[in-house]
């Protein structure tokens, strides 16, 4: 399955489905999506709250008013005095954010009736007094609230019915916020009032009030909200509310016109208005009710009430009229009506016509999403991250600009989350694709190059191209001893298995010392160090690998011996000749455009190959060039000879290595190395008799026993020189005639 996902066309198809699905999901509604959207609108409102005006005032039945009046509910005669005083102070409209559903039990005439007291003179009726003042003021708006079905007192009275075209009425009634029960005032109050509207809170799922119904449906009738009625009465109580359907290119679906005042209010099909809040302050926007009835506050009251719309409400905590808005978690409910009314007066509206907004948001996701899909196929993670960052910033920035400049509400959150989802899916698919490519590279090259190079190659596949550089390398060649004889008695399958048994541990040691396997050549192998990654200890690592190879072959030979014993055949013993040399080489990807390999060329490479070939001539398993020894002088090495290999005109000194610095530090080895140097000095000085005697002593030394073949070869050479002395110009160089 993962292999299928590596195809760019499959990746394009998957991402296209993701983009399309996320675009279509714009038109669905679910709680988390809506809450995130609303929270974004809240932040816009907090950053850019609506400015204040001098057209609204809240008459507050606060804690101090209750303390002074010493009674709740307040007697209706006091409310009547307040309404009359407010009229005299020049209030344009007095709007009650409360319901007078029952008679005033503090009224003297009710008290007398309850006590069955008979007086010759009629006692005051506070409700009648209040009704009379309401009627005379001609600017009072009463309210009613929703109630559970079955608690309906009576059908609300509407002094000015809402007008709507007959063709639009049925459609609007179906979409308006519908209530099943109402709690109304005593019927005499709304009939005396200039207006009567509903006040209700319709919070979102998180309890915050962001939209207010301007119109509601009850018993197949349309009723206005308290704010609309307050505005209508403040302008002219004889005006009416008219609902008009807007054109499709308008910002809202409906518009409410308040008579001939020129005030218009945009409204969604559900009858709601998006509220743009501002924070209200006690000093500027509130007036304690008790001050209206106290002459000593006359100047302050006149300044705050004159030519304003006054909302009568309460901030007293015990009366529990507390609501939550985007700007404040706890505010008196009356502030919401005041905000709505002031917002309409300022014509500072917020619009979200879902038909338009949803299409724009979906188009945004589709357009930017497809750009990201195309980019993901050709660009890297950095570019894709840059695109998604810019796109999310663009979504937030454009949404905020639309809010500021046009009052349009576009959701920046869901499109941003959608783009991030597209980004994540793209990254996952890209990871699968690149990991598959890396796996293919590892499959093709992982058995031939060092782990370090493997990691760099998978991180940078561009390295797989023709080209190279000149750098110093330590190069190794290995070869199986007597391979032809061994292979004669084997079937092809046995030969392959034996080769694998030999090359596997040899290859492991190369890669374990940061080496790179260049190639396998039948029973031979070429490797080098210090490319492609820098390795300042490349000469030491090459020698370490060679020494470890000898140890690695022991378990392989033991296994071959056990197998031969089981089959009753002669056991095989694998041994390798190893040549190592250090020098400048050309290294890089070499070959043709159709097929190439990471390899090395140069004189140092050729000499390493010649040294491997000469191991047979000297009866040794390891020969090392002089430059390699110069960079690894802490190893236990001795010089073997000065030789002019075939194909070269200049002689070179060659060495073999017994072990690491531990062996090099032993007294016995140091004595052996000194004795060996004395042998070579006599040999090169043509003191052949002395050289031969020294060889006899060296061959019985602990370390010399491993060089018996070499010393015997040198004895044969000395014997030949004693019979046929070398020319006078001879400097101890042996000219090799074979590779």
| 639-660 residue pLDDT tens | 999 999 877 788 999 999 999 9
CA dihedral 168, 171, 177, 183 (to 10 degrees): 70
Q: How far apart are CA 502 and CA 496, in angstroms?
A: 10
449-468 core/surface letters (b: 16 or more CB in 10 A; e: else): bbebbbeebbeeeebeeeeb
Read off the pLDDT of residues 151-209 as tens digits, 9 standing for 90 and up.
555 788 888 888 888 888 888 888 888 888 888 888 899 999 999 999 887 888 888 99
Q: How far apart are CA 416 and CA 395, in angstroms?
A: 7
**What pLDDT does residue 148 have?**
65
Q: How far apart are CA 585 and CA 667, in angstroms?
A: 38
Residue with tokens 């010399």: 704
This prediction has a pTM of 0.63
Q: How far apart are CA 436 and CA 442, in angstroms?
A: 10
**What pLDDT does residue 120 have?**
44
For helices 381-406 and 31-47, the axis angle rounded to 10 degrees is 60
Strands (E), 21-106: 56-60, 93-96
- The answer for residues whose C-beta is within 8 angstroms of residue 181's C-beta and 6 or more apart is 146, 147, 148, 149, 150, 151, 152
- Residue 285 token pair: 């926007």
Q: How many CA atoms lie within 13 A of 707 on its CB side?
A: 27
Q: How far apart are CA 506 and CA 548, in angstroms?
A: 8
CB 597 within 8 A of CB 587: no
CB 629 within 8 A of CB 609: no
Q: How far apart are CA 220 and CA 241, in angstroms?
A: 17
Cross-strand pairs, 313: 60
Q: How far apart are CA 149 and CA 152, in angstroms?
A: 7
Q: How far apart are CA 593 and CA 602, in angstroms?
A: 22
**What pLDDT does residue 466 have?**
46
Q: How far apart are CA 655 and CA 539, in angstroms?
A: 14
**What pLDDT does residue 445 have?**
57
Residue 504 neighbours by CB distance under 10 Å: 12
DSSP state, 194?
A: S
DSSP state, 654?
A: E
Residue 102: burial class (beta carbons within 10 Å; 0-12, 13-18, 19+): exposed
Q: How far apart are CA 510 and CA 528, in angstroms?
A: 8
Query: Residue 341 is inside which H or E element, if any?
Result: helix 334-346
> In 306-450, where does DSSP find H-type helix?
334-346, 354-378, 381-406, 413-445
Read off the pLDDT of residues 528-565 as tens digits, 9 standing for 90 and up.
999 887 889 999 999 999 999 988 888 888 887 888 78
Residue 630 neighbours by CB distance under 10 Å: 10
Residue with tokens 């038909």: 355
CATH class of 455-608+624-632: alpha beta
Q: How far apart are CA 362 and CA 20, in angstroms?
A: 9
- What region, left, alpha or beta, does residue 261 occupy, with left being phi > 0 and alpha being psi -120 to 50 degrees? alpha
CA 301 to chain centre: 58
**Number of helices followed by number of strands (H, E) in the chain:** 27, 27
Task: Give the residues of the chain that fall short of pLDDT 50.
Answer: 120, 465-466
- Residue 436 token pair: 């598959």
Query: Residue 216 is inside which H or E element, if any?
Result: strand 215-218
Residue with tokens 């005697």: 693
């Amino acid at each position: 399955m993962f292999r299928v996902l590596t195809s760019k066309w499959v990746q394009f198809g998957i991402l296209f489905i993701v983009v399309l699905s996320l675009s279509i999901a714009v038109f669905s509604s679910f709680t988390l999506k809506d809450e995130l959207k609303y929270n974004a609108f809240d932040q816009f409102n907090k950053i850019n709250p609506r400015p204040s005006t001098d057209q609204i005032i809240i008459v507050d039945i606060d804690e101090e008013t209750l303390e002074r009046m010493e009674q709740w509910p307040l007697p209706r005669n006091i409310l009547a005095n307040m309404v009359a005083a407010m009229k005299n102070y020049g209030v344009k409209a007095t709007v009650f954010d409360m319901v007078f559903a029952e008679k005033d039990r503090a009224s003297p005439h009710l008290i007398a009736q309850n006590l069955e007291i008979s007086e010759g003179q009629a006692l005051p009726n506070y409700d009648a007094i209040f009704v009379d003042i309401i009627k005379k003021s001609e600017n009072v708006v009463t309210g009613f609230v929703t109630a559970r079905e079955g608690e309906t007192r009576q059908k609300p009275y509407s002094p000015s019915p809402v007008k709507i075209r007959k063709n639009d009425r049925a459609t609007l009634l179906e979409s308006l916020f519908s209530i099943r029960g109402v709690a109304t005032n005593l019927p005499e109050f709304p009939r005396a009032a200039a207006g009567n509207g509903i006040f209700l809170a319709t919070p979102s799922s998180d309890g915050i009030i962001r939209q207010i119904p301007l119109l509601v449906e009850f018993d197949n009738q349309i009723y206005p909200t308290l704010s609309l009625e307050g505005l209508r009465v403040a302008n002219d109580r004889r005006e009416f509310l008219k609902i008009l359907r807007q054109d499709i290119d308008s910002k809202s679906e409906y518009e409410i016109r308040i008579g001939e005042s020129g005030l218009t209010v945009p409204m969604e099909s559900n009858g709601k208005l998006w509220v743009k809040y501002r924070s209200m302050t006690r000093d500027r926007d509130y007036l304690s009710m008790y001050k209206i009835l106290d002459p000593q506050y006359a100047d302050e009251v006149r300044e705050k009430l004159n030519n304003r719309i006054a909302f009568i409400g309460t901030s007293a905590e015990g009366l529990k009229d507390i609501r939550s808005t985007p700007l404040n978690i706890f505010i008196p409910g009356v502030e919401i009506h005041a905000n709505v009314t002031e917002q309409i007066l300022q014509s500072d509206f917020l619009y979200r016509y879902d038909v338009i907004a949803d299409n724009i948001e979906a188009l945004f996701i589709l357009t930017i999403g497809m750009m990201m899909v195309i980019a993901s196929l050709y660009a890297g993670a950095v570019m894709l991250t840059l695109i998604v960052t810019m796109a999310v910033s663009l979504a937030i920035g454009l949404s905020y600009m639309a809010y500021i400049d046009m009052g349009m509400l576009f959701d920046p959150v869901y499109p941003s989350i959608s783009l991030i989802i597209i980004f994540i899916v793209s990254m996952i698919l890209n990871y699968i694709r690149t990991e598959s490519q890396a796996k293919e590279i590892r499959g093709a090259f992982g058995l031939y190059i060092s782990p370090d190079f493997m990691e760099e190659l998978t991180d940078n596949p561009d390295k797989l191209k023709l080209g190279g550089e000149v750098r110093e390398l330590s190069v190794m060649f290995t070869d199986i001893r007597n391979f032809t004889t061994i292979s004669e008695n084997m079937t092809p399958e046995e030969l392959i298995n034996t080769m694998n048994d030999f090359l596997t541990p040899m290859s492991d040691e190369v890669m374990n010392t940061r080496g790179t396997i260049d190639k396998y050549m039948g029973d031979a192998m070429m490797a080098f160090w210090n490319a492609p990654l820098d390795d300042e200890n490349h000469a030491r690592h090459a020698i370490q690998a060679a020494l470890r190879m000898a140890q690695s072959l022991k378990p392989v030979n033991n296994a071959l011996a056990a197998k031969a014993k089981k089959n009753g055949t002669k056991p095989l013993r694998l041994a390798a000749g190893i040549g190592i040399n250090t020098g400048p080489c050309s290294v890089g990807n070499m070959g043709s455009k159709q097929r190439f390999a990471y390899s090395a060329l140069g004189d140092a490479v050729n000499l390493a190959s010649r040294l491997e070939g000469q191991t047979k001539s000297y009866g040794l398993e390891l020969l090392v060039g002089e430059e390699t020894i110069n960079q690894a002088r802490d190893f236990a090495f001795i010089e073997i000879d000065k030789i002019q290999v075939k194909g070269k005109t200049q002689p070179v000194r060659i060495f073999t290595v017994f072990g690491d610095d531990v062996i090099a530090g032993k007294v016995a080895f140091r004595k052996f190395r000194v004795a060996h140097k004395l042998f070579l000095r006599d040999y090169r000085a043509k003191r052949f008799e002395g050289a031969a005697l020294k060889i006899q002593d060296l061959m019985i030394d602990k370390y010399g026993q491993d060089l018996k073949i070499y010393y015997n070869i040198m004895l044969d050479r000395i014997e030949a020189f004693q019979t046929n002395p070398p020319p006078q110009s001879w400097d101890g160089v042996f000219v090799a005639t074979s590779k």
